[in-house]
Amino acid sequence: MKTAPAILAAAAAALTLWAPAFPSFAQHGHSHGAGHGGASTAGRELLVDGLRIAFHVMGNAEHRKMLREMKLPDNVEPESTHNITVTLADAATKKPLTGASVGMKVVDPRGGEQIRPLSYNEGLQGYEGFFRLPEKGTYEFLVVVRIGEERKTAGIAWERQ
Ligand SMILES: [Cu+2]
């Protein structure tokens, strides 16, 4: 994929840029409320140039239960442990942004990386991917959002307890 090196470079830059801005992630636990697309504020939100970027992380068992409750197709990938869904919205109008292309880089506690594009899931109103987050520790989630010619990057750290 021709965009992979670009995503990697941007993600690395984002990591360097963003990491110092989040000194206290290690203390933050995370749980998921009413689902990725719901009004839950359990996800982590960032504001980047007028774009609200929210990260929602859910273990597959819980995610599967949520899909069942929402009557959505079960698309859980067998080798994965977690679903990560990123929602995008215009901060001013609160309108969800559906036409972006979103790449995700996950850095695990040992420094291993998983890089892949997220796909838009209409039922969740977000961009999702399944990842392996098997061990306890601090993970970094970095996204590159492309909207036409525009590119925005954001990142959070997430603690698996
Ligand atoms: Cu979920």
The pLDDT tens digits for 110-155 are 999 999 999 999 999 999 999 999 999 999 999 999 999 999 999 9
The rounded distance, in Å, linking the Cα atoms of 92 and 76 is 33
DSSP H or E segment with residue 72 = none
> How far away, in angstroms, is 93 Cα from ligand 1 center?
25
Calculate the alpha carbon distances from 9 to 17, 91, 111 in Å.
12, 26, 16
Q: Structural domain boundaries of the chain? A: 4-160
Comparing 161 with 139, the larger pLDDT belongs to: 139
pTM of the model: 0.77
Across the range 81-103, mean pLDDT stands at 95
> How far away, in angstroms, is 41 Cα from ligand 1 center?
13
CA dihedral 50, 126, 16, 107 (to 10 degrees): 170
What is the CATH class of 4-160? mainly beta
> How far away, in angstroms, is 30 Cα from ligand 1 center?
12
> How far away, in angstroms, is 32 Cα from ligand 1 center?
7
Q: What is the pLDDT of residue 1?
A: 47
Comparing 31 with 54, the larger pLDDT belongs to: 54
pLDDT at 32 over 70: no
DSSP H or E segment with residue 34 = none
> How far away, in angstroms, is 143 Cα from ligand 1 center?
18
Q: What is the pLDDT of residue 161?
A: 87
Q: What is the pLDDT of residue 26?
A: 34
Q: Which residue has the tokens 């492309």?
A: 146
> How far away, in angstroms, is 63 Cα from ligand 1 center?
4
> How far away, in angstroms, is 149 Cα from ligand 1 center?
30
